[in-house]
C-alpha cells in the first residue's frame, strides 16, 4: 500500500525492535517504536503470510461440484467489508485511509479466471511450470474494504462495452454461463444501469471495467467491490426457462444496488462507520432508479415505499431501534450497523428528502442537483453526513418559491434520533384542522434500549397533503409546535389526505371525524382510482400500525380491506399488502388452533376470489399454459405486476387450503416428479409448498424425501432456494429436527444458506418455530462459533425464530436463556432486542 508523500523514511523491523502486540478489542496490531518519531512521512514495510480459511470473510477457500464431471472444484473468493482486509494483509483498515494499491497474483493454470479490482496491466507471465503471474494496474484511491479477489475455473459472458468505454462481464460456473446463458441478463442490465447512473450522477464511471462474479458460497447478497462485484448466485444468475419473474426482479435490483455504490460509497465514501447509512441507504434508494431504467415497463417504482418504508417501520416502531447515525467505537458496533435502519430507513429518508426538496413542482430535480454537486465536490474523498446535508441546504436555499428552513437541522432530527413521528389530525375550529406530532412507539413491557434524544423525539416533518382531491399542498410541521390547515367543516363532503404518494416517513392518525370523511371520500370509485399504488399500500399498512399501537380497533383495518375489495382492487402491490395484513393476524393467533382455523376460513374466501380471477386459468390446466411474457398481452396495463399477480393468486389460495388449488398442485407435482420441465417456474413455489404442508403426514414425508434428494443434487442456486423454503413447511417435528441438524453439516447445506434455512424456512410455522427455538438453545455455542460474523444471516435467523412468539411464558424463557450470554449474540444483538419488543407487542395485541 502506498500513499504519496514528499519524503519517505523506512521503518523496518530494526527500527521497531520487533516489538509489537495485538490489541484484540479493536482488531489492531500495535507497533512500538524504539524512539520517538518526528512528524513526517514514513514507509512501513512488511513481509507476511496469510492462510486461506474456510470461512466467508477475508480471502477464503470455497468448493463446488462441477456439474459436468461431478468432481469437487476449488475457488478462492474474498469478502473484506467491514473488517476483514486486516486478516489478509497488514493495512490501515479504515474507510478514511484511502490508498492506491498495486497487485500481483501468482496462481495455478488450473484456475484460469484470476481477477482483481483493476484490469491486468500486461499479459500473464509463466513463473514456474503450471503457474502464472499476473500484474494488475494500480488502483484509483480506494478504501481497504473494497479490495476483492477471485481465482476460479469459471467462464465469463462475452464482454459488453458501455457508451463511455466501460467493459462489462458476468462470470460464474461454466454450465451456468455457457449452457444456461444465466449471465446474459445481468450483464446486459449492468451495461444499461451504468449508462443510466452516469446520467443520474452526471459523472462517468471512473474505472475501465466491471466484472460481476457469481460465487457459490457468499455471506451477503452481494458486495460492491470497485470493479469486481461479487454476488450470491441467486442474486446474479437468471435463466428464463428455469427461474421466475421474481428471480429476475431480484437480479435486477441487486445489480442496481451494487452499481449505485460505485459512485455513492466507492467514489465518495463515508469517513467512518457511524455513517454507513450514507452508503447503504443511498444505494437502497438508487437501486429503484436503476431497475426502472433497466426495466421501465415494470413500473417498479410502485414497489419502493412498500418495501423500504414498511421494512423500516417494522424495526423502527420499537424502543429497540437505533438512530440512523450512531457512535461506533468497537468492531461489534460496526457489524450492528448492517441492518434495516441503514438500508431501508436510509432509503425511506431519501425518498422523503426528494419530496421536500422538490416540493410544489412536478418533475423537478432539485434533489438530484444537490446529489450531483455532492459527488463532484467529494470524488475520491471521504465525507460525513453533514457534508451531504450542507449540499442539500445550499440547493434548497437557492429556491425563492419555498418557505426557508435549515436542511441541516431538518435532517439531524431524522438521523440522530430513532423512531419516527405520529401525526395527529383533528378539528381545531369550524374552519381549521390542527396537525400535531408525537413519538410513534409500540412498546409492550420493559424497554431495553431506549436511547435518550437531544431533540426530544420531535422532528421537522415535511407534510404533503390534499383537500378534497385538490392540488397538492405542502407545510412544515416543526418540533414542539402545531400547524393549522384551512378546512371547511360545514362542507360534509370535504376530506383531507396526508402523505400523498406515501413519501413521508411518518404515520397519520386521523381523528374519528376526519377518518370517516377520508374513507367516505375513497368509497367513491372515481376517487379511489386516483390513488397511486404506493398510497393504497401505505394507507393499509399505516392503519394496521395504528392498530398495533392501540390507536385504532382491528375493525378499522378490516373495514378498509373490505373497501379495497369492494373496489375490485387488482394491482399486485395493494393485494399483497392485504394478504400481508391478513397473514399477520394469522401468525399472531396461530398458537390458538381453533381461532386460527376460524380466521383462515374467513381469509380463504378472499383468497379463492383472487385465485379464480387471476390465477385459475393458468394454474388449473391439465397442460400448463405459458404465462404472459412482459409486454405481450395488450389487455394488461402493467404486464409485470399482472404476471406477479398470477403466481401470487395461486400461492395464497393453496396456502389457505382452497381445495381446487391444492388438487391442481398435487396433480402438477406428480407430473413434476416424472418430468421436471413440466412445471412452470412461476408456479414451482406454490406446488412444492402445497405438497410438503399436506396434512397427510405420510404423503408429505414421502414428498419431503424426494425434494431433499433433489436439493442435494441440484446445481441451480435458485432451485435450491425454492426447495429449502418448501421443506420447512412439513407438519412433522422429527423431520424438522433432522432438517435443522443438516444445517450444521456443510456437506449437506452450504454455510452461507444455513442460517436462512433455520430462520426463514424451518421457523415459518408455529411448529417450526418451537423446533427452531429448542434447536437454537441446544446448539447455540456451535452456531456462535460458526456464524457470529454472518451479518444479515444472523439477523434473519434470530428474528425468524423468535419474533412471532406471543406468550409471557415464551418471552421469559427466551430472556432467561440469554440473560447471561447476550455478548454471544454478536451481530445479532440488535435483532434479539427487536425480537423481544416484537413478542411484547404480540402479547399486547392479543390482550386487546
- Burial label, 620 (beta-carbon count in 10 A; 0-12, 13-18, 19+): middle
Cis omega (within 30 of 0) on the bond before 82? yes
Pick from 468, 458, 508, 507: nearest CA to 488: 468
Pick from 535, 506, 507: nearest CA to 521: 535
483, HSE (Cβ side, Cα atoms, 13 Å): 19
Please state the φ and ψ torsions of residue 56, each to the nearest 5 degrees. Answer: -125, 30
Q: Give the three-class secondary structure for 828.
A: helix
Distances (CA, A) of 486 to 309, 431, 516: 29, 6, 18
Pair type for strands 222-223 and 167-172: unpaired
The length of the chain in residues reads: 848
Distance CA 646, CA 624 (A): 13
Contact partners, residue 344, CB within 8 Å, separation at least 6: 284, 307, 308, 309, 311, 312, 315
Distance CA 113, CA 150 (A): 7
Distance CA 478, CA 475 (A): 9
Contact 117, 142 (CB under 8 A): yes
Distance CA 770, CA 561 (A): 31
- Burial label, 822 (beta-carbon count in 10 A; 0-12, 13-18, 19+): middle
Residue whose C-alpha cell is 411474457: 629
Give the DSSP letter string of 58-111: EEEEEEEE-TTT--EEEEEEEE-TTTTHHHHS----STT--BB--EEEEEETT-
- Burial label, 734 (beta-carbon count in 10 A; 0-12, 13-18, 19+): exposed
Rounded to 5 degrees, what angle do the CA atoms 765, 694, 652 make?
65
Pick from 526, 518, 481, 523: nearest CA to 500: 518
Contact partners, residue 467, CB within 8 Å, separation at least 6: 473, 485, 486, 487, 494, 495, 496
Out of 258, 280, 577, 721, the active site residue is: 258
Task: Assess whether 258 carries a catalytic annotation.
Answer: yes
Q: Give the three-class secondary structure for 156.
A: strand
Give the DSSP letter string of 258-288: HHHHTTBTTTEEESSGGGHHHHHHHHHHHHH
Please state the φ and ψ torsions of residue 387, each to the nearest 5 degrees. Answer: -65, -40
Distance CA 519, CA 509 (A): 13
Rounded to 5 degrees, what angle do the CA atoms 469, 472, 475 make?
125
Distance CA 167, CA 149 (A): 18
- Tell me how far apart the 2 most distant CA atoms of the chain are, in Å: 92
According to DSSP, the residues that pair with 78 across neighbouring strands are 59
- Burial label, 128 (beta-carbon count in 10 A; 0-12, 13-18, 19+): exposed
The cell for 459 is 422532528
Q: Which helix (H) or strand (E) holds 135?
A: strand 131-136
Q: Which residues are tagged catalytic?
A: 258
Amino acid at each position: 500500500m502506498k500513499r504519496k508523500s514528499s519524503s519517505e523514511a523506512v521503518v523496518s523491523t530494526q527500527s521497531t525492535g520487533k516489538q509489537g502486540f495485538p490489541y484484540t478489542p479493536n482488531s489492531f496490531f500495535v507497533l512500538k517504536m524504539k524512539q520517538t518519531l518526528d512528524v513526517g512521512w514514513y514507509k512501513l514495510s512488511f513481509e507476511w503470510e496469510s492462510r486461506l480459511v474456510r470461512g466467508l470473510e477475508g480471502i477464503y477457500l470455497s468448493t463446488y461440484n462441477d456439474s459436468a464431471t461431478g468432481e469437487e472444484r476449488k475457488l478462492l473468493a474474498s469478502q473484506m467489508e467491514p473488517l476483514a482486509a486486516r486478516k489478509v494483509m497488514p493495512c490501515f483498515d479504515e474507510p478514511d485511509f484511502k490508498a492506491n494499491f498495486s497487485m500481483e497474483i501468482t496462481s495455478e493454470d488450473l484456475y484460469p479466471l484470476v481477477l482483481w479490482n483493476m484490469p491486468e496491466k500486461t499479459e500473464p507471465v509463466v513463473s514456474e511450470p503450471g503457474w502464472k503471474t499476473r500484474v494488475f494496474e494500480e488502483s484509483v484511491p480506494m478504501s481497504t474494504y473494497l479490495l476483492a479477489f477471485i481465482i476460479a475455473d469459471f467462464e465469463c459472458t462475452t464482454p459488453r462495452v458501455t457508451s463511455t468505454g466501460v467493459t462489462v462481464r458476468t462470470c460464474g460456473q461454466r454450465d451456468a454461463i455457457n449452457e444456461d446463458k444465466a449471465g446474459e441478463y445481468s450483464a446486459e442490465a449492468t451495461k444499461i444501469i451504468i449508462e443510466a447512473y452516469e446520467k443520474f450522477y452526471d459523472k462517468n464511471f471512473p474505472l475501465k471495467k466491471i466484472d460481476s462474479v457469481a460465487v457459490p458460497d457468499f455471506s451477503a447478497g452481494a458486495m460492491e467491490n470497485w470493479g469486481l462485484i461479487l454476488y450470491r448466485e441467486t442474486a446474479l444468475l437468471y435463466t428464463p426457462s428455469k427461474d421466475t419473474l421474481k428471480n429476475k426482479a431480484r437480479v435486477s435490483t441487486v445489480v442496481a444496488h451494487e452499481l449505485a455504490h460505485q459512485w455513492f460509497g466507492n467514489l465518495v465514501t463515508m469517513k467512518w462507520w457511524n455513517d454507513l447509512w450514507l452508503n447503504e441507504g443511498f444505494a437502497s434508494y438508487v437501486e429503484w432508479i436503476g431497475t426502472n431504467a433497466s426495466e421501465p415497463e415494470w413500473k417498479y417504482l410502485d414497489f419502493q415505499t412498500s418495501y423500504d418504508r414498511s421494512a423500516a417501520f417494522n424495526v423502527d416502531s420499537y424502543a429497540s431501534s437505533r438512530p440512523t447515525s450512531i457512535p461506533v467505537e468497537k468492531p461489534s458496533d460496526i457489524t450492528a450497523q448492517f441492518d434495516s435502519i441503514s438500508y431501508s430507513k436510509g432509503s425511506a429518508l431519501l425518498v422523503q428528502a426528494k419530496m421536500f426538496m422538490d416540493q410544489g413542482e412536478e418533475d423537478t430535480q432539485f434533489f438530484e442537483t444537490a446529489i450531483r454537486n455532492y459527488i463532484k465536490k467529494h470524488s475520491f474523498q471521504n465525507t460525513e453526513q453533514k457534508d451531504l446535508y450542507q449540499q442539500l441546504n445550499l440547493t434548497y436555499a437557492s429556491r425563492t418559491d419555498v418557505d426557508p428552513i435549515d436542511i441541516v437541522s431538518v435532517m439531524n432530527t431524522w438521523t440522530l434520533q430513532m423512531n419516527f413521528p405520529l401525526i395527529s389530525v383533528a378539528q381545531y375550529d369550524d374552519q381549521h384542522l390542527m396537525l400535531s406530532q408525537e413519538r410513534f412507539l409500540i412498546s409492550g413491557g420493559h424497554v431495553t434500549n431506549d436511547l435518550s434524544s437531544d431533540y426530544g423525539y420531535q422532528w421537522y416533518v415535511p407534510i404533503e397533503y390534499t383537500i378534497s382531491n385538490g392540488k397538492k399542498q405542502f407545510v412544515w410541521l416543526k418540533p414542539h409546535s402545531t400547524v393549522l390547515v384551512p378546512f371547511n367543516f360545514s362542507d360534509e363532503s370535504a376530506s383531507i389526505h396526508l402523505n400523498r404518494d406515501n413519501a413521508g416517513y411518518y404515520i397519520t392518525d386521523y381523528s374519528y371525524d376526519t377518518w370517516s370523511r377520508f374513507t367516505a371520500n375513497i368509497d367513491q370509485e372515481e376517487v379511489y382510482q386516483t390513488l397511486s399504488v404506493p398510497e393504497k399500500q401505505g394507507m393499509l399498512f399505516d392503519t394496521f400500525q395504528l392498530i398495533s399501537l392501540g390507536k385504532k380497533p382491528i375493525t378499522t383495518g378490516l373495514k378498509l380491506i373490505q373497501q379495497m375489495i369492494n373496489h375490485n382492487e387488482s394491482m399486485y402491490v395493494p393485494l399483497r399488502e392485504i394478504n400481508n395484513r391478513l397473514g399477520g393476524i394469522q401468525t399472531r393467533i396461530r398458537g390458538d388452533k381453533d381461532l386460527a382455523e376460524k380466521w383462515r376460513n374467513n381469509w380463504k374466501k378472499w383468497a379463492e376470489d383472487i385465485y379464480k380471477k387471476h390465477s385459475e386459468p393458468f394454474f388449473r390446466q391439465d397442460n400448463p399454459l405459458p404465462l404472459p411474457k412482459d409486454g405481450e398481452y395488450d389487455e394488461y396495463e402493467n404486464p409485470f405486476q399482472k404476471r406477479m399477480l398470477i403466481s401470487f393468486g395461486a400461492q395464497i389460495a393453496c396456502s389457505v387450503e382452497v381445495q381446487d388449488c391444492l388438487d391442481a398442485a398435487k396433480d402438477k407435482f406428480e407430473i413434476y416428479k416424472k418430468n421436471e420441465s413440466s412445471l412452470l417456474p412461476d408456479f414451482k413455489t406454490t406446488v412444492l409448498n402445497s405438497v410438503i404442508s399436506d396434512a397427510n403426514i405420510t404423503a408429505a414425508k414421502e414428498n419431503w424425501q424426494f425434494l431433499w434428494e433433489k436439493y442435494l443434487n441440484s446445481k441451480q442456486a435458485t432451485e435450491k432456494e425454492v426447495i429449502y423454503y418448501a421443506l420447512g413447511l412439513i407438519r412433522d417435528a422429527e423431520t424438522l429436527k433432522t432438517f435443522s441438524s443438516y444445517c450444521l453439516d456443510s456437506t449437506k447445506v452450504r454455510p452461507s444458506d444455513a442460517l436462512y434455512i433455520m430462520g426463514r424456512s424451518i421457523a415459518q410455522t408455529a411448529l417450526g418455530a418451537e423446533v427452531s427455538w429448542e434447536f437454537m438453545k441446544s446448539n447455540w455455542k456451535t452456531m456462535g462459533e460458526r456464524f457470529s460474523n454472518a451479518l444479515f444471516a444472523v439477523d434473519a435467523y434470530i428474528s425468524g425464530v423468535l419474533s412471532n412468539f406471543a406468550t409471557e411464558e415464551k418471552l421469559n424463557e427466551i430472556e432467561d436463556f440469554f440473560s447471561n450470554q447476550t455478548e454471544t449474540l454478536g451481530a445479532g444483538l440488535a435483532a434479539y432486542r427487536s425480537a423481544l419488543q416484537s413478542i411484547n407487542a404480540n402479547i399486547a395485541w392479543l390482550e386487546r
